[in-house]
Structure 1
Amino acid sequence: MTFADILEDLGSFGRFQFIHVTLLSIPGLFLATQNILNNFTGGVPGHHCTVPNRTSLALSHDISVSPLSDKEILQAFIPTEDGSTLSRCRRYTEAQWRLVGTNGSIATSDRNVTEADTETCRDGWTYEKTEFLSTIVTEWDLVCTLLPLKRMSQTIYMGGVLTGAIVFGGLSDRFGRRALLIWSHFQLATLGSCTALSPNYLAYCIFRFLTGMSVSGVILNAFSLKMEWIPTKSRTVVGSISSFFFTVGQVILAGVAYSLRDWRQLQVAVCAPFYIFFICSWWFSESARWLVLNRRSEEALKHIHRVARINKKPEMMEKITLEVLESHMQKEVQSSTTVFTAYDLLRTPVMRKISICLIFVWFSTSFAYYGLAMDLQKFGVNIYLVQLIFGAVDFPAKLGALVTLSFVGRRVTQSACLLLSATVIFVNIFVPSEMQTLRTSLAVLGKGLTSASFTCVYLYTGELYPTVIRQTGMGFSSTMARIGSMAAPAVLILEDILPALPSIIYGGSAVMAGILAIFLPETLNVPLPDTIEDVEEKWWGHNGVADFGVNMQKWLE
């Protein structure tokens, strides 16, 4: 008997598992908002240089006996770009009244006017409030030369997510999943809400960094608690359905952001619910697998008996004793005397191959995903509508992934999602910029495929790494994802060199990861490994490419 057999005797996927998985998944509704929140809290509204004393100017101009409108005053003080759009970062040093035609149009034929001296926005900026009432951009004037600071705030947040993956991944293998999950919920609720009180840009970035750390803590520990308390046959469905909470969260964000267009209110709205999740998280049971492997078998037995009571299997409380539990996990207990570090992810042959392949899969998935999802304003339509569409497309994409994960396997699904997303990205390169609707549709499809890849890789990684080092492995792998999410915005700078270059890099990375995914072992309906020795024995001599071909042939037949 293994621990998987104990779970079956406890009722398989019973009442406890249902409540447990549901409570662990609900925070995903608001976790999804954190990574893409900057699209709204850091939105860049239309803006132009402030023109001081508009009223006196309108009354004192010397080209008309009637006062000028605001639009006409702007024509006299703000130069245009492409002959129609007001400049965002420059204004005339002196009023150019001759620019104002009798019908209010700009008289661009006047050579003296078109060559007039301009200056920077010495009196600040005036912002449109049709799309956003207030953002960090309007709060601290992060426009023109300071616009990179807006992008930097997202990079700093992702740096926090990366740091959290490293810190909380290792700590949870040492101190337990439940304790770190409780702390992460509290940290996210408190520091996330405090972000709304930031008096300046520096404080904002510090709070966002710490909030990003807690996001990793919640995701990693919630995932492991789910996987380690459910039977083998339920992992695929649970992992896939849990990811739908993130999808619903993206749709919810569109509605909440549309209703609360002040960034401080929006920040509180998506972080305060974690106080409720913090209270609920005290109900969770610590992973019995982890407790046994850390010489806390008596505590593990209490949690197992609790599960038996909730699942209405009282007879199992007498059947499963401390001696029975330890005898059936003797091998795993013996291995727990060793202290594991990130080095053990690369020390042995099979673990090394798995880790290297997962590094590329995690990096490329996140790299392509955030390259498509983090700058919604570039699509030129209502940002709230784009967010809604981007969230909605994940439903069919993840549903398709659920089907293939259940019947075809993890490896085929992972590889297919990456290669198909690369294909869509490459195709979009050849679509003319005038065909904005088609380009947006392809971007939405690519985002859906990368989202499905995320669904698969979270499940796949948890099944490939053994219990003794699962959280360290998840933290190590997701660290690569955070590096990808930090690199994605930086690649967009290459558009100035060649417009298609960012897409070539995103697509090329996805192709490489899709090929490497073929070399990973299949885990469909395979019990979770508990030790590194289990991994080496189970998949030693595994030939990913050969197995991939055989499985594909069987599936096609």
Structure 2
Amino acid sequence: MAFQDLLNQAGGMGRYQILQMAFLLICNVMVTPHAILENFTAAIPGHRCWVHIIDNDTVSDSDSGTLSQDDLLRISIPLDSNLRPDKCHRFVQPQWHLLHLNGTFSNVTEPDTEPCVDGWVYDQSTFLSTTVTEVWEEVNPHMCFTSNGHHWDLCSFGSHLLHLLLTSLPERVIEWTSPKFKALVTILMSCATSFGSIVMAGLAFAFRNWHHLQLVMSVPIFFFLIPTRWMSESARWLIVNNKPQKGLQELRRVACKNGVKNSGDALTMEVVRTTMREELEATQTKTSLSDLFHTPNLRKRVFLLCLLRFSAAISILGFSIHLQHLKSNVFLMQCLYSSVSIPACIVAVFLLNHTGRRISQLFFCFLFGITILATVFVPEEMRTLRVVLITLAGANSVVISSSNIIHSNELLPTVIRARALGVTGTAGSMGAAVAPVLMTLTMYSASLPWIIYGVISILAGFVPLLLPETKNKPLPDSIQDVENEWKGSRHTNEEGAIIKVTPF
């Protein structure tokens, strides 16, 4: 944990950190909204079976007489349990007698129906085209359509690859920042993400064709790779990976950009070796992925962080990518909750810095779960209340993600942090994969997936309580730092007790 002394000499929050953070904030505006872009590109619009008498261009008006569109729909498409046109079936033959029954079906034999063998007709009032209408048309015998699929073309593949590359940059920023500013930096990145979501909602409203929206959102990302070559590598990582000379060069480079005078005299190889003596000794042993599980404290941290990321991803992704299933205007809801998440992130900074990482995450997870559950049980007629609850849940999901990132970075040692974050990230990806699968449970109950999302979030809130508090503490550099942390804190408490008792 001695690297903090070197960072203070180079400037813990100077011009370099501010410029680096500004670049990352701009990246976040365009990159991170891709995680929820499929709310628009893969939306499932209203649909019904294609029927000959209504949708065949060769059918003339004389063939259907003077019947209105509603009448033709009534004799062609059966009604579902909600007395709305069925999305997955049509009558085998037009049921002309339904025009004269005035809603009374008791004395009529149930007519034969069949699946949508000729395809579907889509409502284009909201989206001109999506990957569902043009690409996926995957039929499910119970739901007619699966949940949002993931369409991959060259453009989207490239943008997702760049998204993965650019989302690794926050770790560099965190490692160049003093402990008291870490929460602020992470929350600012979340605010940028929220602003990017607002921009995305506006672009989605303007470009209703999924091809055009994907192109507009993806092309700018390629230009963000160019400035990354001028970013400094983490000096902390270089030193603890037995590259002290390169680490020293990066420290001097940052000190120069921060306007620190005589940095060459203050930052020398002797100072680096003396300050980081224990860490450099630890580098003589090569670290590997298996080292995450050799020592008890680190193993416990990794397991609990994986559990937290997995459960949080299920709830957050389940909510974020299925906004359209909440029967609200997806453009409005995306814009509203992204706007509210910005002041919510500012409040989160206060809570994280004053109540600590553990209690804050408990509060955020509880609030998120409760708002989701409340949304499920509020009647659709109470639209204003539903909008408030959805907005609050969406803003809270951004805060949960940010607090998880902060806590994870502060708990994992630098020497193996990248590998550890890869493991926890994999757990998060597994949770993200489970989230849309749970939506298939709507065949049993429309509320069931949302209840599961809410309950999982509430249970996830207890996990941070099993992890150490990291507020205002320096980052651990080595695995030994993690293992000695409990002993060190115990020794400090004993010393404090001796000091208090001795004068008496």
When normalised by structure 1's length, the TM-score is 0.80
Counterpart Cα distance in 2 of 1:113 and 1:390: 49
1:430-468 deviation digits (Å, cap 9, x = unpaired): 544554543443343233333212111101110111100
Contact 2:190 2:398 (8 Å CA) reproduced:
no
1:99-144 deviation digits (Å, cap 9, x = unpaired): 446xxxx844367877332222233222121100110111036264
Confirm whether residue 59 of structure 1 aligns to residue 62 of structure 2.
Answer: yes
2:419: which partner in 1?
A: 472
Paired residue for 2:140, among 120, 139, 145? 145
Contact 2:75 2:99 (8 Å CA) reproduced:
yes
Contact 2:9 2:266 (8 Å CA) reproduced:
no
Amino acid corresponding to residue 247 of structure 1 in structure 2: S
Paired residue for 2:246, among 289, 296, 299? 299
Structure 1 gap ranges (5+): 158-190, 196-206, 547-557
Contact 2:10 2:254 (8 Å CA) reproduced:
yes
Per-residue deviation at 1:299? 2.3
Amino acid corresponding to residue 236 of structure 2 in structure 1: R
Taking a change above 3 Å as real, the CA distance of residues 245 and 150 of structure 1, as seen in their structure-2 partners, is farther
Counterpart Cα distance in 1 of 2:41 and 2:228: 28
Paired residue for 2:113, among 118, 121, 128? 118
Confirm whether residue 329 of structure 1 aligns to residue 328 of structure 2.
Answer: no
Per-residue deviation at 1:314? 4.1
1:185-209 deviation digits (Å, cap 9, x = unpaired): xxxxxx87523xxxxxxxxxxx4xx
Higher relative contact order, structure no. (Cα contacts within 8 Å, ≥ 6 residues apart) = 2
Counterpart Cα distance in 1 of 2:72 and 2:447: 40
Taking a change above 3 Å as real, the CA distance of residues 280 and 113 of structure 1, as seen in their structure-2 partners, is farther
2:306: which partner in 1?
A: 359
Contact 2:89 2:116 (8 Å CA) reproduced:
yes
1:176: which partner in 2?
A: none
Taking a change above 3 Å as real, the CA distance of residues 531 and 363 of structure 1, as seen in their structure-2 partners, is same
1:194: which partner in 2?
A: 155
When normalised by structure 2's length, the TM-score is 0.87
Counterpart Cα distance in 1 of 2:488 and 2:243: 35
Amino acid corresponding to residue 262 of structure 2 in structure 1: E
2:22: which partner in 1?
A: 22
Amino acid corresponding to residue 58 of structure 1 in structure 2: D
Contact 2:4 2:178 (8 Å CA) reproduced:
yes
Alignment of structure 1 residues 37-436 onto 2, 5 Å: 37-52=37-52, 53-61=56-64, 64=65, 67-82=66-81, 85-100=84-99, 107-109=102-104, 115-140=110-135, 142=137, 144-145=139-140, 150-151=146-147, 153-154=149-150, 194-195=155-156, 207=157, 212=160, 214-219=162-167, 221-428=168-375, 430-432=377-379, 434-436=381-383
Contact 1:45 1:129 (8 Å CA) reproduced:
yes
Q: Among the aligned pairs, what percent are the same residue?
A: 33
Amino acid corresponding to residue 145 of structure 1 in structure 2: N
Per-residue deviation at 1:246? 1.2
Counterpart Cα distance in 2 of 1:468 and 1:304: 17
Q: Comparing 399-408 with 460-469, which one deviates more in the overlay? A: 399-408
Taking a change above 3 Å as real, the CA distance of residues 482 and 387 of structure 1, as seen in their structure-2 partners, is same
Counterpart Cα distance in 1 of 2:106 and 2:427: 55
Confirm whether residue 2 of structure 1 aligns to residue 2 of structure 2.
Answer: yes
Counterpart Cα distance in 2 of 1:465 and 1:138: 44
Contact 1:72 1:100 (8 Å CA) reproduced:
yes
Contact 1:257 1:266 (8 Å CA) reproduced:
yes
Confirm whether residue 451 of structure 1 aligns to residue 454 of structure 2.
Answer: no
Taking a change above 3 Å as real, the CA distance of residues 282 and 150 of structure 1, as seen in their structure-2 partners, is farther
Counterpart Cα distance in 2 of 1:487 and 1:345: 25
2:481: which partner in 1?
A: 534
Amino acid corresponding to residue 527 of structure 1 in structure 2: P
Contact 2:90 2:116 (8 Å CA) reproduced:
yes
Q: How many residues are paired up? A: 487
1:532-551 deviation digits (Å, cap 9, x = unpaired): 111111234879xx9xxxxx
1:50-88 deviation digits (Å, cap 9, x = unpaired): 234355352134xx4xx4444443333333335853222
2:433: which partner in 1?
A: 486
Contact 1:40 1:263 (8 Å CA) reproduced:
yes
Partner of 2:114: helix, strand, or coil?
strand
Taking a change above 3 Å as real, the CA distance of residues 148 and 323 of structure 1, as seen in their structure-2 partners, is farther
Amino acid corresponding to residue 163 of structure 2 in structure 1: V
Partner of 1:271: helix, strand, or coil?
helix
Amino acid corresponding to residue 20 of structure 1 in structure 2: Q
Amino acid corresponding to residue 429 of structure 2 in structure 1: R
Counterpart Cα distance in 2 of 1:86 and 1:30: 39
Q: Comparing 321-330 with 130-139, which one deviates more in the overlay? A: 321-330
Counterpart Cα distance in 2 of 1:461 and 1:83: 46
Per-residue deviation at 1:501? 4.2
Contact 1:363 1:484 (8 Å CA) reproduced:
yes
Contact 1:247 1:395 (8 Å CA) reproduced:
yes
Counterpart Cα distance in 2 of 1:258 and 1:353: 46
Confirm whether residue 31 of structure 1 aligns to residue 52 of structure 2.
Answer: no
Contact 1:372 1:443 (8 Å CA) reproduced:
no
Counterpart Cα distance in 1 of 2:243 and 2:176: 17
Taking a change above 3 Å as real, the CA distance of residues 4 and 418 of structure 1, as seen in their structure-2 partners, is same
Taking a change above 3 Å as real, the CA distance of residues 192 and 78 of structure 1, as seen in their structure-2 partners, is closer
Amino acid corresponding to residue 120 of structure 2 in structure 1: W
What root-mean-square deviation, in Å, do the aligned CA atoms of Structure 1 and Structure 2 show? 2.9
Contact 1:88 1:144 (8 Å CA) reproduced:
no
